[in-house]
Amino acid sequence: MMTNRGWMRSLTLIGMGTLAATGALVVADGIACVQAAESTVAAWRAQRGPCAQRLEEHAAWCATQKLRRERHEAYAGLLLLRPDHAKARRVLKYVAGPNGTWVRKSYRVPGRSRDAAKAQEAGRRLAEVASLLREATIALRDDQSVSLLDRGRAVAELAVILPNDEEVRAWNGEVRLGKHWVLRETATALKEGKVLRADMLQILADQSQPNDIEPDDDDAPFVKKFADGSENDAVRVLAMRGAASSVEAARVFAAAHGAFARALGSPPFPPMRVRVFLFGSKEDGLEVFAKHPSVDEAYLAWARTLASVWTPSGDVIFIWASDEPRAIEWCLRQALQMHLRQTLDVNAKRGWAYEGMGQWLSETMLGSHLSWYVRRDGYTNQSGARGERFARMLDPKHNWFELGLELASTDDWPDLRIVLGRDVNSMTAEDVLASYLLTRFLLEGRPDDAHAILSDVGAATAPDAWCANRLGLSLEQLDARLRRWMSEVASRAR
């Protein structure tokens, strides 16, 4: 008869055997997945060389038929498969650039042939040329064991090789806009994004006049040279002499509630009332701020570097911005940041979302970029392109979207992976600009995903994870897609 200890030993041995078997299955499954992925990728790669050869022959045939547009498309696909193809580079007007690069200063894509029969025959031939690569790409796209980046690259490549294949273009997230193919995000931004931006202005215009108020006993310790006061369901604002109008500050603060809900497609939530004190000078503001019971010397020292600050208790905001437009914008930014923290748990550690949302909302509601977090030391006295860019970002005459387009064409464009990991205190001017552009891309181009993405950001989900789960992209693909979107939106907005 087996004792209890014997039973336990037998169960332990059985358990060990089961775990060993399970572990072996897991390892075997993992090896099988890797082997399957390698097989799929190998089959796809095996078709690229033959397809390049057939594209070269197809380009030559198009030349004999005087099909200049179709010849251009054949060489564009060929150059993807064989970047060293000298004739393709020459036909497409690429010349040697710095550091071993190839650049094209000016090139006009040829128009389509008026001979419909010849053009149709060229399309039939091209489909046959790329048919095997197309099948291999489908297999690669559907193989979940292959990385998202590799699958996306293969589909994007095929969209260039088969530029008129509507199914392939759809796989690549593109739609027709008139005679042209554009990113789905571009079409959405040009239509729904315009409506969204108009709604931001209307939300502010619809705000009613707040009630006039005088300082009460709770306000008294922080009032100096009182001028006027305003109150609504969202905020209580007291302005000192020389400061911004309390009326406009209260309207903007209240408008942020509806704007936040509209921009993210989320239901509005009850206003969270706070007090705001507006001062005509930094000296007056700091003198009063120091009297708040929650402020210690360390916090006061930090506040001296700012234009606007919350008390540590989190219920009072002090603003001593240098002029009225800047102070009003700070009211909007502080209201937005309160919503980001309390509804999505997005705080200053998530710098791109914190700053990007603020810049987008300031632009759409107030038409300005006067308040932003960036360490300005090292920029204000900097010469060269980066110093000039920083100065232009500070200048209200300059359009941030246009500045972003310029930045995207230079080596100063920041690594998106690094930008997404920064907090506001470590962001550069280029990081802020890229954050604004990414936020605009999401809110105007991917509005159905924006709220879920910011929820992931607040939950500290890794950027690679939310990018793959919400957008179906790798970070590298998101970067490329963002830059293409900027170019497409700009070209159609002119």
C-alpha 432, offset from chain centre: 11
For residue 436, is pLDDT > 90?
A: yes
Query: Using CA atoms, how far apart are residues 294 and 296, in angstroms rounded to an integer?
Result: 7
Q: Determine the length of the chain.
A: 494
| Mean pLDDT value across residues 184-188 | 96
Mean pLDDT in residue range 415-443: 95
Q: pLDDT of 106-137, one tens digit each?
A: 788 899 888 999 999 999 999 999 999 999 99
Query: Mean pLDDT throughout 223-249?
Result: 93
Evaluate whether 254 touches 233 at the Cβ level (below 8 Å): yes
Task: Give me the pLDDT at residue 15, please.
Answer: 38
| pLDDT at residue 269, rounded to an integer | 62
Q: How far apart are CA 328 and CA 256, in angstroms?
A: 12
In CATH, what is the architecture of 209-339? Answer: 3-Layer(aba) Sandwich (3.40)
% of the chain exceeding 90 in pLDDT: 69
Q: At 279, list the tokens.
A: 């001062």
- pLDDT bracket for residue 38 (50, 70, 90): confident
Give me Rg for the CA atoms of the chain: 29
Confidence of residue 321 (pLDDT cuts 50, 70, 90): confident
Tokens 């696909």, residue?
Answer: 77
pTM of the model: 0.83
Strands 316-319 and 274-278: parallel
Q: Is the pLDDT of residue 44 over 60?
A: yes
Residue with the larger pLDDT of the pair 194 and 36: 194
pLDDT for res 396: 87
The per-residue pLDDT for range 193-205, each reduced to its tens digit, is 999 999 999 999 9
Phi/psi of residue 190, each to 5°? -70, -25
Q: Are 400 and 363 in contact (CB under 8 A)?
A: yes
Q: Residue 379 — very low, low, confident or very high, per pLDDT cuts 50/70/90?
A: very low
Mean pLDDT of 357-367: 96
Predicted confidence (pLDDT) at residue 13 exceeds the cutoff of 70: no
Sign of CA dihedral 149, 151, 156, 161: positive
Q: What is the reported pLDDT for 494?
A: 63
Bridge partners of 240, per DSSP, are 226
Confidence of residue 191 (pLDDT cuts 50, 70, 90): very high
pLDDT band, very low/low/confident/very high, at 353 (cuts 50, 70, 90): very high
Return the axis-axis angle of helices 429-440 and 351-366, rounded to nearest 10°.
Answer: 70
Residue 24 has pLDDT above 50, yes or no: no
Assign 386 a pLDDT band (cuts: 50, 70, 90).
Answer: confident
pLDDT, the chain, mean: 88
How many Å apart are CA 65 and CA 162, to the nearest integer? 19
Domain map (residue ranges) of the chain: 29-172, 178-206+345-494, 209-339
